[in-house]
Structures are given as C-alpha cells and as structure tokens.
Amino acid sequence: MVQIEDPPRRTRHPPWLRVRYRQTPQLTHLRELVREQKLNTVCQSAACPNLGECWARGTATFMIGGNLCTRACGFCDVQTGRPAPLDLDEPARVGAAVRALGLRFAVVTAVARDDLADGGAEHFARTIAAIRAEAPDCQVEVLIPDFKGSLPALQTVVDASPDVLNHNLETVERLQRPVRKAGRYARSLEVLSNAQRLRPDIPTKTGIMLGLGERTEEVRQTLVDILAHGCELLTIGQYLRPSPQHLAVERFVTPEEFQSWADEARALGFRRVASGPLVRSSYHAEELADRSGVH
C-alpha cells in the first residue's frame, strides 16, 4: 500500500497531467450541436481536462438548469450568480441531442438551484423522460446536487428511473467547509443512503478528489463511510485548480497512489472503481455502469 506523504506544494503540473487532444469530426459535430441546441455541458463549464478525449469518443455530460450556480464551491469553475428561470424546453433539446449523437449512455448533471422549491428535481425528471422518449436504448446517469437534503426532491428523481444515481461527496469530512461551503458531509451521505432505500434497484455512485490536503486515514475513513451508506460505485481523481481565485492544489498525487487507492477501495467492498489523476465523476461512466451490472 502506498503511504501518502505531505511534500511541499507544487504549482506546475507533472507530466501525467499534461493533456493533448486533436480535433476530430466527432468532436466538431458535438460542439456544433451543443451550440445549435443552446445546451450547456459540464465539460466546458467546469473546464474538464478530459473534454477532448470524451468529446472525440462522442460522449458528453449535459448540464441542465442553466450555467449559473447558486453555490460558490471552492473547487468549481462553474460561475456563481442568480440563475434565470428554468428553460422548460431544455429537456426536449437534450433528448434531441442524445438521439442525434447516437449516444448509448448519457450523463445529466445540473448547477445547484437552491432558488427553486424542489432544487430542480422535476427538471431532472423531465430530462430523463425526454431522453427515454428520443433514445429508448440509451442509459442515463444523473449527477445530482444534494437538494438541501429534501426527500421529496430525491423521490422525484428516482421515480424517473435513471440507470445510475450519482452524488459526489467531493472530499473528506474535515475539508468540507472550504471545499463545499454550502455542502454537508453527513447530508451527502444521507442522499446516497436515501436513494438506495427509495430505489434499491438503482445503483448509487459518488466521487472524491485528492490533492486538497486530505490525510491518508481521512481518505480511508471516507471510503468506509461511503460503503456504510450503500454506495458501491466510486471515482477518485486529482483536484486541479481552475483559477487563482480557487483553492490551491496542495499536492499532485501520483498514478501509483491512485492505483493503490483503487486496490484498497475494491478490497473494502466497492464493486467498481475508477481512480486516476484525470478521472472525473462522469469519466468513462458507461464502463463503470456496464461492469457493475446495469442493463
């Protein structure tokens, strides 16, 4: 097992984080379709380092509810502000885009909409339904906010029967406040356990970032806590600072350490784990779902 040390903070990206991609017809097509349909993708809004790879493969994570978030997390590049009213035609446009791209697996996430009574839960449900109508063979994963712990909001989403329900814990308990100012560690764990209780047939998934100053035992305890709340699909990735205004990277975790965490997570009982420097919540989501028995 690799033991994590606390070396001096580094600011330059190591070689394993230097990403290059080439323009492809598929990438160009997806970019044009997203623009024409006036859609948002988390790939662009969150400055994901895997945009080139995923878009070239014809996959993307659609971000519904607008591109302004009511929260100001210390790690996220999505802009904070007062969102506009929901675009009620957006679900239909997402469904049409999924069909046009011929996707077999679509990920749908959203900005936090604490300004709405249901946190945007019904908008999620309508988007799932629109994808099902346009592309019946396409599996759907949703990456949801915590809805402030609202059980009715969560019920609305699971009643729409996504194939996977994802809610990210993001970091260890001690670092929740600087990383997720409006988030709560216990509340996020409850979202995962409540989803399993409401719909035990829908697999739950969560993700954490490394490189924010977490300690080895804290990460290990986080994995134990996640499993204790019924979640068995896990992503672990490197935190990358979107701008000087965001939290600093405390360390760059090596690929070997990520592999060690993957091995330990599987030994603890996780069914499927994606762990690596460039892994993000929806990175190769279809592979995690397929291998975990989702049909």
Residue 80 resides in a domain: yes
CATH code of 250's domain: 3.20.20.70
Q: Give the number of C-alpha atoms closer than 13 A to the C-alpha of residue 100, restricted to the C-beta side.
A: 16
Domain of 26, in residue numbers: 20-291
DSSP state for residue 211 in the 8-state scheme: S
Residue 144 neighbours by CB under 8 Å, 6+ apart? 109, 110, 121, 124, 154, 157, 165, 166, 167, 191
Q: In what order do the strands lie in the sheet with 164-166?
A: 40-41, 61-64, 105-110, 139-143, 164-166, 204-210, 233-238, 272-275
Rounded Cα distance between 73 and 177, Å, is 9
Nearest of 130, 144, 48 to residue 97 by alpha carbon? 130
| Region for 94 from its dihedrals, namely left if φ exceeds 0, alpha if ψ lies in -120 to 50, beta otherwise | alpha
Query: How many domains does the chain fold into?
Result: 1
Distance CA 61, CA 208 (A): 18
Helices and strands (H and E) in the chain: how many: 11, 8
Who wins on pLDDT, 145 or 282?
A: 145
Whether the model clears a pTM of 0.95, i.e. scores above it, the answer is no
Q: Which residues pair with 109 in a beta bridge?
A: 63, 143
* Range list of β-strands (E), 120-194: 139-143, 164-166
Residue-level pLDDT at 12: 75
Does residue 6 lie within any of the structural domains?
no
| Residue 25's pLDDT band (cuts 50, 70, 90) | low
What local confidence, expressed as pLDDT, does residue 45 receive? 47
Residue 32: what pLDDT? 73
Q: Is a pLDDT exceeding 70 seen at residue 154?
A: yes
261, 219 Cβ separation under 8 angstroms: yes
Does residue 3 lie within any of the structural domains? no
Residue in the structure block whose two tokens are 């995962």:
192
Domain assignment of residue 164, yes or no: yes
- Give the angle subtended at the CA of 251 by the CAs of 246 and 253, to the nearest 5°: 120
Q: Are 77 and 44 in contact (CB under 8 A)?
A: no
* Range scoring the smallest mean pLDDT among 36-50, 118-132, 216-230, 253-267: 36-50
Task: Tell me the pLDDT tens digit for each residue of 62-102.
Answer: 999 988 888 888 777 777 889 899 999 999 999 999 998 88
Per the domain annotation, does 9 fall within a domain?
no
In a domain, 14, yes or no: no
Specify if 11 maps to a domain: no
**Residue 175 included in any domain:** yes
